[in-house]
Structure 1
Amino acid sequence: MGCEVTAFSSNPEKEQEVLAMGADKVVNSRDPQALKALSGQFDLIINTVNVSLDWPPIFEALTYGGNFHTVGAVLTPLSVPAFTLIAGDRSISGSATGTPYELRKLMRFAARSKVAPTTELFPMSKINDAIKHVRDGKARYRVVLKADF
């Protein structure tokens, strides 16, 4: 689709999977040295996680005028020094998943571009197993429940 994609992950075990999905490179989001080496490299960072990270080096990875966009519902405040935003003319934005119209457009784009999610299927009768699987950090990458009653 014309973009160079760098994936951030806190789980080194996912690196080969993420590269196989099409990422150009993978960076450990919990490695301060790796994050520092990315300073000023990204026009856009899309955050999909709902956990708190060390945000300043992630914001510093943005280019001048870069945007950090979150769709991940992080429950704690995003803490970043104002100077990091001001000096780099950087911005922060966020959005929900979209309106029904936008979701239809997204689905058409995904179908046309042959983009498909990686999911794991659990029967609804095993919902407790599915929840434990997610909480244990073992989900690859979305868990789907299927009615079996």
Structure 2
Amino acid sequence: MSISTSVPAYAAPAAKAPLERTTVPLRPVGEFDVLIDIKYAGICHSDIHQARDGWGEGIFPMVPGHEIAGVVTEVGPGVTRYAVGDHVGVGCFVDSCRDCEYCAQGLEQYCVNGTTATYNDRDKNGEPTYGGYSTHVVVDENYAVRIPDGLALDIAAPLLCAGITLYSPLRHWKAGPGKKVAIVGLGGLGHMGVKIAHALGAEVTVLSQSLRKKDDGQRMGAEHYYATSDLATFEQLAGTFDLIVSTVSAPLDLDAYLRMVKTDGAFVNVGAPEEPNSLNMFSLIGGRKTLAGSMIGGIAETQEMLDFCAAHGIGSEIEVIRAEQINEAYERVLASDVRYRFVIDTSTI
């Protein structure tokens, strides 16, 4: 290997502790592995949840980051998919069982035996996994994706989570011409939902707490924009949408939102609140409506998403930061003070 077995990184030493510069082990490049020189890493709200034990007990020290874009600098002897110099990305997981029915269908994110998360997890050897807030990562070639030439690495990085998290449900529930789609929340996830749904040909509405980002939403492709703080919105839009995708990480009044769904329509959650939610079942029964969830996408679908975004000129809208700004960025994410995704320039680590 051309670099040492430890690499610089930013890690949370304990739950709720500020992230700090450190070094973490880098596993050797195996037969089917690629070594990636990370150029950019997006900051996802889920990084904050996990670094602060919001979703349960974490593994510390924790190096977050599952929106990774970089360049291949070494390949194992059995690698056939990539060569040194290729632009590649790594998303939310770096392995799965490869044998179950869902892995066989390209739905590795729903692996029966559990995927290996890019960070805050343990690999098949029991070693902790470390994410993209670092200078390098080693992954199996089958769990990396190719970043097309038409996508710059900085705007591509957030697509590895935010992009696929919205692309997968929009495709699954057939967003397209003739369909009315609403995106709840215009943040790091939501702005990608607007862009992708518009590119798919759907009529897009943003449902946001206020009209503060209305101009942005319309510029990204939303035909309509409503404030959910105005209760009249829910009455005005009753029975309007074929599909609503919620990107927010806070509990919602599901009954109110389901009233806006058409008969046989769906309300899909991709945001993951830490608190439980409640629901009156009559909100579903009355219109044969579906309340669903969706989690990222498989490797093949992630590649499809990247190719789609490149073909349609879609990238995340980003604010590039230095590594020493990570803790400040976390607070700004919690305050909704980012338009629309922080991306770490990992050369500053």
Q: What range describes the TM-score normalised by the shorter chain of this pair?
A: over 0.9
**Which residue is 1:120 aligned to?**
319
Residues 1-149 of structure 1 mapped to structure 2, 5 A cutoff: 1-147=200-346, 148-149=348-349
CA displacement at 1:30 relative to structure 2: 2.7
Deviation digits for residues 53-98 of structure 1 (CA, Å, limit 9, x no counterpart): 2221111100000001111112233322111100110001112111
Give 1:60's aligned amino acid: R
Counterpart Cα distance in 2 of 1:70 and 1:116: 22
CA displacement at 1:19 relative to structure 2: 0.9
The answer for unaligned runs of 5 or more in structure 1 is none
Counterpart Cα distance in 1 of 2:278 and 2:340: 27
CA RMSD of aligned residues (A): 1.3
Counterpart Cα distance in 2 of 1:116 and 1:15: 19
Deviation digits for residues 15-43 of structure 1 (CA, Å, limit 9, x no counterpart): 11111111001111232211221100000
Q: Retained in 2: the 8 A contact 1:30–1:53?
A: no
SS of aligned partner of 2:300: helix
Q: Retained in 2: the 8 A contact 1:67–1:92?
A: yes
Counterpart Cα distance in 1 of 2:320 and 2:224: 28
Counterpart Cα distance in 1 of 2:277 and 2:265: 16
User: Scaled by the length of structure 1, what TM-score is found?
Assistant: 0.93
Counterpart Cα distance in 1 of 2:306 and 2:324: 29
Q: Retained in 2: the 8 A contact 1:27–1:35?
A: no
Number of equivalent positions = 149
Q: Retained in 2: the 8 A contact 1:120–1:139?
A: yes
- In terms of fraction of residues, the more helix-rich structure is 1
Counterpart Cα distance in 2 of 1:37 and 1:43: 15
Counterpart Cα distance in 1 of 2:246 and 2:240: 16
CA displacement at 1:141 relative to structure 2: 1.4
SS of aligned partner of 2:201: coil
Give 1:58's aligned amino acid: Y
Largest Rg, 1 or 2? 2
The answer for unaligned runs of 5 or more in structure 2 is 1-199
Counterpart Cα distance in 2 of 1:11 and 1:105: 33
Counterpart Cα distance in 1 of 2:293 and 2:220: 25
Seen in structure 2, the aligned counterparts of structure 1 residues 47 and 64 have a Cα distance that, compared at 3 Å, is: same
Give 1:13's aligned amino acid: R
CA displacement at 1:100 relative to structure 2: 1.6
